Amino acid sequence: MTPITPSPLVPVLTEAVFALTLALLFLAPLAIAGVALINVGLGRSRSAAQSLLGNLALLAVSVIVFALVGATLAGAPGAAGHSFQLAGKPWNWLGAGPLFLGGLGSASPQAQLTLLFEFLAVALAVMIPWGSGADRFRLTAGCAAAAVLAALVFPLAAHWIWGYGWLAQLGVNFGLGAGFLDGGGAATVHLLGGLSALAVVWIAGPRRGKFPKEGLSTALPGHNAVYVLFGCLVALVGWLAWNAAGAVIFLHASLAALPVTALNTLLSASGALAATFAVTRVRFGKPDASLCANGWLAGLVASSACAGLVTPGQALFVGIVAGIATPLMVELLELALSIDDPSGAVTVHAAGGLWGLLAAGFFAPLPGQLVAQLVGIATLFGLMLPVVYLLFWLLNRFVPFRVDPDGERIGMDLHELGGGAYPEFVIHRDESYR
Amino acid sequence: MKYAGLLVMPAGFFLSIAAILLFPAPAPRAAFVLCGLAVEGLGLAVAVRGHMESRGGSRP
C-alpha cells in the first residue's frame, strides 16, 4: 500500500468513482451526528435538548446561508475566481460564481459533488464552537454565529484550500510540494471550527461556578457518557466516508488508494484512544471516559489531514501523538489558562487538526510540502482567528452570546425551550457552585 | 492585552507570506515562515494571558 501522491490537475471522475464518492458523501453526515451526540453528552442534563436542537438549527442555518452566499465565495476547483497579481504570480483569493443559489443546480455534476462536500463541511464546522459554548451559549446567538461563519469565514478558507485558491496553488506558483493539502477538512473544518470555539469561549466566558475565587476549577462533568462514547462510534463511520470522499475530490485519489485511506483513519483513531486511555490511567488511576472520547475524536481529526498521504505506520504514530497530547492539553487549558471548553473542541479540533496538518507536511513524499502546510497553518492562525474573534465580538454587541444568570441557573432547556430533555427525571439542585 | 495579542497575530501571517515571496531558497524560506508562526504564537500567548487576567478580575 502506498500513500496518494497529489496532482495539481483536476481530473474528470469516471462514472464508477463518481457513484462511489456520492455514496460516501451520503454516509459522511454520520460524522456530524457523532459530533452532535458528543456535544450533547458533554453538556449538562438541563441543557441537553437545547444543545441537540442547536446542533440541528445550526446545521440548517449554515446550509441555507452557505447556499445563498458562501458557496459563491467558496467556488469550486476549475470555476471562476477573483485574483490579483503579486510578485508575478496570480493570487486567487475569492470565488466568483453567481450569488443566491444561482448556478447550484446547473453546475457540472463533479462541481456539485464538491459543493455537497462543502455543504457538509460547513455544517460540521459551525457545530464545533456550539459544543464549546454549552450551557451558556444562546440559541439565537449560536445561529447568528453559524451564519457569519457560513457566509464569510468558511467560504474564504474553502476557496483558498479546496477551490484552487492561493493556498492550493502554493505548489504551482512557488514550488511548495502540491500546495496546501487538506483532503478531509482538518484545516477548513476542524482548525477553523476549533479557533472559532476559542473565540466563543473567550467572548461568552466560563460557566457560572466553573472558576471559583479560590482553589482549583470546579469539575462540571458531562451528563451522559453513553451519548459521548456512542457518538464516537457513529463518528467513525462518518469519518471513514469523509476522508475517502475528500481523498477522491481534493487529492484526486484513485479507487485503489481508498482502502489505505480508510485504514489510516481507523489506525489514527485507535492509536489515539489507546494513548489517551494509557495517559489517563497513569494520571488518574483509572481511564477517563470523556477524555478517551476526546482522544478518539482527536485521532480522527488528525487523520482528516493526512489519512491519504501517510503509510499505516505513520498514521498510527499520528494517532498516538494526538492521544497523548489531548488529555494533557485539556488539563492545561482548563487549569492553567482558565478556558472553560465543555466539549474540548479547542483541544480536539484545533490542536488535533493542527497536528494532522503538520504530520501531512512531515510525511508527504513531496519536497516543500512541510513549508506549504506551515503557510496554511499560519494563515488560519494569524488571519482567521483574529477575523473570527472580531466578527464574533461585533456580533456579541447585537446578539449577546451569553444567557442571563437566571437562565444559566435554571438550565438552557427550561429557559430557551420551556421544557427539559428528561421531563420525568429529577434535576438536582446544583451543589457544585461555590 | 487580549486585543494587542490578536493584533500581533496578522503580523506573523504577513511575515509568512513575505517569506514565500522574498526567499526562493528553501532554507531561508522555511526559517522565515517559522518566524511568522513564532510571531503568531507570541500574539496568541499575549491574548491568552489577557484572557486569564480579565477572568481573574471577574471571578465570582
Q: For residues A11-29, give the mean pLDDT.
A: 92
Tell me the three cell numbers of residue A413.
432547556
Is A425's pLDDT higher than 50?
A: yes
Q: Which residues of A touch B48 (CB under 8 A)?
A: 337, 339
Smallest CA–CA distance, residue A101 to chain B, in Å, is: 33
User: What's the rounded Cα separation, in Å, for the pair A415 and A404?
Assistant: 10
**Which has the closest alpha carbon to A302: A276, A334, A331?**
A276
Half-sphere exposure in the Cβ direction for B26 (13 Å, CA) = 10
- 3-state class of A93 per DSSP? strand
A354 lies within 8 A of chain B by CB: no
User: What's the rounded Cα separation, in Å, for the pair A49 and A287?
Assistant: 28
Q: For residues B19-25, give the mean pLDDT.
A: 92
pLDDT of residue A92: 85
What predicted TM-score, i.e. pTM, was given to this entire model? 0.94
Q: Tell me the percentage of chain A whose pLDDT exceeds 70.
A: 94
Tell me the three cell numbers of residue A266.
481507523
Please state, rounded to an integer, the average pLDDT across all residues of chain A. 90
Angle subtended by helix axes A352-363 and A369-379, to nearest 10: 160
Q: Which residues of B touch A379 (CB under 8 A)?
A: 13, 16
Residue type, A53: L
pLDDT of residue A434: 46
Each residue's pLDDT tens digit, A75-84: 777 777 788 8
pLDDT of residue A7: 55
pLDDT of residue A215: 73
Q: For residues A100-121, give the mean pLDDT.
A: 84
Mind giving me the DSSP string for A341-381?
Answer: -TT-HIIIIIIHHHHHHHHHHHHSSSTTHHHHHHHHHHHII
Is B60's pLDDT higher than 50?
A: no
Tell me the three cell numbers of residue A19.
457513484
Per-residue pLDDT band at A98 (split at 50, 70, 90): confident
Q: Mutate one of B3, B15, B20 to test the A interface: name it (highest A CB count within 10 A).
A: B20
Nearest to A213 among B10, B51, B59 (CB): B59
Is A233's pLDDT higher than 70?
A: yes
Per-residue pLDDT band at A72 (split at 50, 70, 90): confident
Q: Cα–Cα distances in Å, from A118 out to A24, A25, A67, A398?
A: 14, 10, 10, 29
pLDDT of residue A164: 86
Is B42's pLDDT higher than 60?
A: yes
B6 lies within 8 A of chain A by CB: yes
Per-residue pLDDT band at A86 (split at 50, 70, 90): confident
A168 lies within 8 A of chain B by CB: no
Residues 6+ apart with CB under 8 A from A404: none
User: What's the rounded Cα separation, in Å, for the pair A374 and A357?
Assistant: 8
Tell me the three cell numbers of residue A330.
485539556
Is B1's pLDDT higher than 90?
A: no
Q: First CA to last CA across chain B, in angstroms?
A: 22
Nearest to B52 among A338, A382, A386 (CB): A338
Q: Which residues of A touch B60 (CB under 8 A)?
A: 208-209, 212-213
Each residue's pLDDT tens digit, A40-71: 999 999 999 999 999 999 999 999 999 999 88
Please name the residue of chain A whose CA is at the shortest distance from the CA of residue B23: A174
* Complex ipTM tops 0.90: yes
Is A96's pLDDT higher than 80?
A: no
Backbone angles phi and psi of A92, in degrees to 5: -80, 110
Tell me the three cell numbers of residue A135.
450551557
Interface list for A 78-107 with B (CB within 8 A): 86-87
Q: Tell me the percentage of chain A whose pLDDT exceeds 90.
A: 69
Q: For residues A190-199, give the mean pLDDT.
A: 96
User: What's the rounded Cα separation, in Å, for the pair A411 and A338?
Assistant: 22
A377 lies within 8 A of chain B by CB: yes
Backbone angles phi and psi of A84, in degrees to 5: -130, 165
Per-residue pLDDT band at A107 (split at 50, 70, 90): confident
Smallest CA–CA distance, residue B18 to chain A, in Å, is: 10
User: What's the rounded Cα separation, in Å, for the pair A315 and A260?
Assistant: 10
User: What's the rounded Cα separation, in Å, for the pair A423 and A426?
Assistant: 8
Q: Which residues of B touch A374 (CB under 8 A)?
A: 16, 30, 33-34, 37
User: What's the rounded Cα separation, in Å, for the pair B19 and B21?
Assistant: 5
Please name the residue of chain A whose CA is at the shortest distance from the CA of residue B16: A375
Q: Cα–Cα distances in Å, from A175 out to A77, A374, B29?
A: 19, 14, 12
**Which has the closest alpha carbon to A433: B57, B52, B59?**
B59
Each residue's pLDDT tens digit, A262-321: 999 999 999 999 999 999 999 999 999 999 999 999 999 999 999 989 999 999 999 999
Lowest mean pLDDT across A25-34, A61-70, A217-226? A217-226
User: What's the rounded Cα separation, in Å, for the pair A421 and A230?
Assistant: 18
Please check whether residue A91 is in contact with residue A85, taking contact to mean a CB–CB distance below 8 angstroms. yes
| CB pair distance less than 8 Å for B13 and A337 | no
Interface list for A 172-191 with B (CB within 8 A): 174, 176
User: What's the rounded Cα separation, in Å, for the pair B60 and B55?
Assistant: 10
pLDDT of residue A424: 76
User: What's the rounded Cα separation, in Å, for the pair A161 and A180?
Assistant: 7
B59 lies within 8 A of chain A by CB: yes
pLDDT of residue A95: 82
**Which has the closest alpha carbon to A193: A292, A317, A58, A10?**
A58
Q: For residues A345-369, give the mean pLDDT.
A: 93
